[in-house]
Amino acid sequence: MATMTETPKNKCNCISCELRNVAFTNLNEKDISRICEAREERHYARGEIIHREGDAIHDFKYLKHGLVKLYRVNSDGDEQIITITRPLEFVSNTNVFHETHYRYSLSALEDSDVCCIRLDLIRELIEENGKFALNLISVLSRTSQNIIAIGLEIRQRNLAGRIAYVLLYFANEIFRSMIFDLPVSRKEIADFISMSPANVIRTFSDFRRDGIIRSNGRTIEITDMKKLEVISRRG
């Protein structure tokens, strides 16, 4: 497994970073420079653990590039995927302000860059700047709401509807393309939607047979979007 690496400090570009438009809009140039000096950019290869459940919390993290999954491991050693997220999401920060250790694990589904800002600095900025605090609370609330909403959407569907929903989520929200490489295995999809791997594999076969998708290994092409949307809605 590749070793996590850090981007040198002199490559900091926080002033122009997209994150500023997402969460740091109420900070002045001086405070942005403070963040720039305090942050570390870390690279994780596909499959690397970003943090584990139970690790101590030291940083406020956001995904700059790549794709990650948030999950926990149950007593049987099986993963339970909570969500899969794209860049500029804040899933690693859902409990950083009220607990000392992570409740869930986070790992890279593809090569990913994560920016880590010292949590004590973020706390200082919250205390100093009420508008920044409110905006950050709003961003984190949306993140939590999205996680809850996806879980509810999946649970209210049958098997075919769940898989259709997940494929549409990858196509519309993650990759924004009708052709994409699945970032997770069939077993991981089964964990995500609380179904057996055998049922997931069979449903993929049914979708191929009905001309809804084409697949070659991990590569998926949605060939009948309308039918997939109907299955997702009726599921």
CA distance 61 to 58: 9
Residue 12 confidence (pLDDT): 56
**Taking Cα atoms as reference points, which of 165, 134, 133, 170 lies closest to residue 149?**
165
**Taking Cα atoms as reference points, which of 202, 169, 172 lies closest to residue 69?**
169
| CB contact set of 75 (below 8 Å; sequence gap of 6+) | none
> What are the b/e assignments for 130-147, b being 16+ CB within 10 Å?
eebbebbeebbeebeebb
pLDDT in tens, 31-90: 888 888 888 999 999 999 999 999 999 999 989 899 999 999 888 878 889 999 888 788
Residue 10 confidence (pLDDT): 41
| CB contact set of 152 (below 8 Å; sequence gap of 6+) | none
How many whole angstroms from its chain centre is CA 201?
A: 24
The pLDDT of 100-121, averaged and rounded, is 94
Mean pLDDT (the chain) is 88
130: Cα within 13 Å, side-chain hemisphere: 0
Q: Does 68 or 5 have the greater pLDDT score?
A: 68
Residue 2 confidence (pLDDT): 42
The pLDDT of 121-134, averaged and rounded, is 93
Which structural domains are found in the chain, ordered by start?
A: 11-153 (2.60.120.10), 157-234 (1.10.10.10)
pLDDT in tens, 161-208: 999 999 999 999 999 999 999 999 999 999 899 899 999 999 999 999
CA distance 184 to 107: 12
**Total-model pTM:** 0.83
Number of helices and strands (H, E) in the chain? 8, 9
pLDDT band at residue 92 under the 50/70/90 scheme: confident
